[in-house]
Structure 1
Amino acid sequence: MTHDETGWDLEVRPEKMRRWVVVAAVVVMALHIFAALVLRGGGDTGVNLRVVDQIAILAIGVVLTGGVLLFTRPRLRAGADGVSVRNVVAERHIPWTDVRGLFFDHGAPWARLELPFDEYVPVVAIQARDGELAVDALERFRELESRYTVPDRNDGGAVRRNDDGGAARRNDDGGAVRRNDDGGAVRRNDDGGAVRGDD
């Protein structure tokens, strides 16, 4: 779908899973219709269903079919307002400031959206079994991420992000910030000099 039709720059749904889910839903409903018609006849089995029993079997089939069709709901949307992830039931909106990338773990069936503090959201809409469609969705998502994600800025010292996922730190006095190699605490000089870690 285009941006004009949906208001989103990117909308992704799983292709193969949706086809299999629709087939499964048709089979479930057909089996319940067949059971309601055949068991009505009775015969040598002694089963003699009334109309209300047939309606009950059909109602169960409708409920089960609806439950199966829930698996057609997964969707990923991305645009200027952020990222919206809907898996089977709930939908979650995430601003670009909280997005840390979209990745596939090794051997994972679907992608995951990385968030701050080692959190993530499964993205069932982008599945490994979709092959090139999944690769294309990842590339398009990363283009949007680079377009809408703005580097952090401040009014003085530099902001740096730790490679281990830790919080960014800012020095207010404009001095250099150095990391200590032995894991010790980072200390600030009171004389306005450089901030150094333990040697």
Structure 2
Amino acid sequence: MTAVQEHSMTTTGPLDYRPRNSRIGAWIGAAVAFFGFTGLSFTLGSATVEGGAVTIADQAAMIGLGVIGAGIALSFLRLRVRADDKGIEVRNVTSTRFFPWQVVTAVNFTDKMTWATVELADDDEMSIMAVQVSDKERALAAIKHLRALLEQSRKS
């Protein structure tokens, strides 16, 4: 699905946006963690410098560390923002939250920010990690789309 779909000037359609660069980075990080620790486990040898033994369990533990590292890296594949005429759903690494447009006061994304934020009526703020500065024009188009949906909700 495309990140931003243009519709008529009177209505703005739904948005389903995922970052591109961090997804690539997550896959690369996962591969490096898994294959790095797996390779390291096979190069340990059978004895340590002090004379201790390296067992199969030690090698399995090293591979397990690689799996854990890969899992942490792959958790960044969860990043997503969805928005429609009802509100905005923000999925970050560990949480998913939905905000109706009535509680959203602004969608912020300045050149000093790593990712966008949604400002709420109770003076709270939540990061939109899916909209990242590294995605450049795609991220700007997504912010414009989110702001258009916010304005559209205020008019109706």
Q: Please confirm whether the aligned pair reaches a TM-score higher than 0.5, indicating the same fold.
A: yes
Structure 2 unaligned runs (5+)? Answer: 3-12
Aligned to 2:70: 65
Aligned to 1:136: 141
Deviation of 1:22 (Å): 1.5
Which structure has more relative contact order (CA 8 Å, sep 6+)? It is 2
Aligned to 1:126: 131
Structure with greater helix percent: 2
Task: Please give the root-mean-square deviation of Cα atoms over the aligned residues, in Å.
Answer: 2.1
Deviation of 1:65 (Å): 1.2
Aligned to 1:31: 36
For residues 152 and 26 of structure 2, the distance between their equivalents in structure 1, rounded to whole angstroms, comes to 35
Structure 1 unaligned runs (5+)? Answer: 3-7, 152-199
Cα shift readout 1:22-70 (whole Å, capped 9, x = no counterpart): 211111111111111111x337845642222221211121112111221
Divergent runs of 4+, >4 A: 43-47
- Determine which structure has more spread, i.e. the larger CA radius of gyration: 1
Indicate the SS of the match to 1:42.
Answer: coil
Aligned to 2:46: 42
Indicate the SS of the match to 2:123.
Answer: coil
Aligned to 2:88: 83
Structure 2 CA distance for partners of 1:9 and 1:48, relative to 1, 3 Å: same
How many residue pairs get aligned? The number is 145
Structure 2 CA distance for partners of 1:103 and 1:84, relative to 1, 3 Å: same
Identity over aligned residues, as a percent?
32
